[in-house]
Amino acid sequence: MVNRSFYNRRKKVILFVFGSVAVVYIIRLFFLQILDERWKTDAHINAFRHEIDVPPRGLIFDRNGVKLVDNEVSYDLMVVPRNIRSLDTLGLCNILNIDTAEFNRRLSKARKYSIYIPSLFEKRLSPQMYAFLTERLHNFKGFYIYPRTIRTYYTQAAAHSLGYIAEVNYHDMDEDPYYAMGDYTGRSGIERSYEQELRGKKGQRIVLVDNLGREKGAYANGEFDIDAVPGQNLWASIDKALQEYGELLMQGKRGSIVAIEPSTGEILCLVTSPSYDPSLLVGKDRGKNYRELQNDSINKPLFNRALNAMYPPGSTFKLANALVFQQAGIVDEYTLYSCQMGFAYGNRVLGCHAHPSPLNVSGSVQHSCNAWYCRGLKSMLENRKLYTSTREAYEDWYDRILKLGFGQKFNSDLPYEIKGIIPSANYYDKVYGKERWKATSIISISIGQGEICATPVQLANLVAIIANKGYYYPPHLIRAIGHRDTLNDRFAKRVVDIEPKYFETVIEGMERATWAGTARRASVPGIRVAAKTGTAENPPRKDHSLLVCFAPVDNPKIAISIIVENGGFGATWAAPIASLMMERYLNDTVLRKDLETTIMTGKINYY
């Protein structure tokens, strides 16, 4: 009995041990086969490869249908770290012309991103490298060649407007799950502003592969594949020929040219000088070229002067004040202000040049009289019939100036634009003390100096408003999306609070300036031109040369602002450049070859 009892206990212990082991195995098998996806994933990866199909970016054309930006096929070497087997590291390094340290760095970066998802290993293979690798790819399991499109340019102009694309970083991928390692995104210009439209939608292919990583066809005959949707084509508002011509005229100079079609707000050209060839920021040398451009602290070719530079607008700003003074009831077409070679206040004199005196509104524009605008601003800020205080009068002036497009962004499709500066009443309270400033404290803003700063595109928009006699569309770079006839209607018409009759007096003065005033060099034979020069002080260096204009007066087709840094008087450089630009656009040719040669070969000594 004792022995049987002993053996029964041993039997139960053995059964318990074997039962426990069986239960552990069953639980482990259940976990591995049902709950744990890792082995299923590994088996799946050995049989399938999920390839993301990145669509070609949309093309970019100019307003006349001339192609500006296209795509060309490029081949990248991709890696799926989890699939690497028995890799001939040295052989691959020799093909790619890299050392093992660089190989390990790239592979580590890919593993950090994901061991399952493809990562870029070598971008833009040369044709020879592509052919050589294709024949030997079976020796490098885990690697495959992926075709993608890169940008190619049909012009060396408009680099800042077109922009460029660059490889995404971790921040881009965190911000938008659409992107994966090795993708590209727009970094500036149109490429950035219209990234959503240009990039399209990704597709996906599920490819059967053998144990060597070689493709064996589509899984389930492609039933589960998703087709990529190509990016939409864009038609820019830019006129390629005018843009290229403007850049030729600005050779050897710093500054900008902005030309707008007044009736639509479409930018016909946006020249910033110095510039660069957009093709420099494509391909394997992009990083090196970008650093060289970025490190050029003298010319600053990456700096978009048309949108990001602020200048005192000088006498071009008198046009805005002439409109505001009339609308506010400070002056009318018959109001006369005298000038004795300047405006005296306290023991100071704000100087002026010789011209007829006294002058009305049109005459003040024609002859660009400083004293006239000083008296106009003083009359407005000291008018106690209309305003109870200087501050109230100034705030009225400030609001009207902002409605003319100054001191704010247009918020259209112009990337990285800045607001410029129109100082508020609070600003002057901080500078002078509350209720301790008056008209003569800030008199220089009447002639576009002092604290006033504007961007070139804001000045071009001002003359577009004048050409339209009271309205504008925010300046923009894209006129059609998806189809040439599908016009871009994202930007609504804005009406300024100034009656049309007040524009007539200003336009009269601008036109008279081109045949008997300060803007004579802006005239174009056979075309009625309205223009206003500006000379912006830039101590201690030479003044900036400015001009704004539009033409033809009776049917405006183009409005322009031009700034030539340190170019002196507005009539010296800006006026003849504007004249040639209008002639080129309106007549489709330039007959004044001597003037053209003089401007194109002329350079400004900045040192």
pLDDT at 139: 85
Tell me the pTM. Answer: 0.86
SS (H, E, C) 428-494: HHHHHCCCCCCHHHHHHHHHCCCCCEECHHHHHHHHHHHHHCCEECCCECEEEECCCCCECCCCCCE
Which CATH fold would you assign to the domain 48-236? Answer: Penicillin-binding protein 2a (Domain 2) (3.90.1310)
Taking CA atoms, 383 is separated from 156, 338, 401, 402, 447, in Å, by 54, 19, 18, 21, 19
Distance of CA 218 to the CA centre of its chain: 42
* Sign for the pseudo-dihedral over CA of 531, 518, 321, 384: negative
- CA pair distance 221, 18, nearest whole angstrom: 48
Q: What are the boundaries of each domain within the chain? A: 2-36, 48-236, 240-276+303-601
Q: How many of the other CB atoms lie within 10 Å of CB of 133? A: 21
pLDDT at 210: 64
Q: Which helix (H) or strand (E) holds 562?
A: strand 558-564
pLDDT at 41: 47
Candidates 558, 585, 554, 560; CA nearest to 575 is 560
399-418 pLDDT, tens per residue? Answer: 999 999 999 999 999 988 99
Dihedrals phi, psi of 190, to nearest 5 degrees: -60, -35
Structure tokens given for 553: 């007066």
At 496, which amino acid appears?
A: V
Compute the half-sphere exposure of residue 426: CA atoms within 13 Å on the CB side of its CA.
0
Compute the half-sphere exposure of residue 11: CA atoms within 13 Å on the CB side of its CA.
6
Q: Split the chain (607 residues) into runs of 10 and give each run's mean pLDDT.
A: 62 69 70 55 57 89 98 89 87 91 93 86 85 86 85 96 92 91 90 96 81 64 83 98 98 97 98 96 88 95 96 97 98 94 94 95 97 98 97 98 97 94 97 95 97 98 98 98 93 95 98 96 97 91 96 98 96 97 97 97 85
pLDDT at 605: 83
**CATH code at 240-276+303-601:** 3.40.710.10
pLDDT at 38: 52
**Residue labelled with tokens 């864009």:** 234
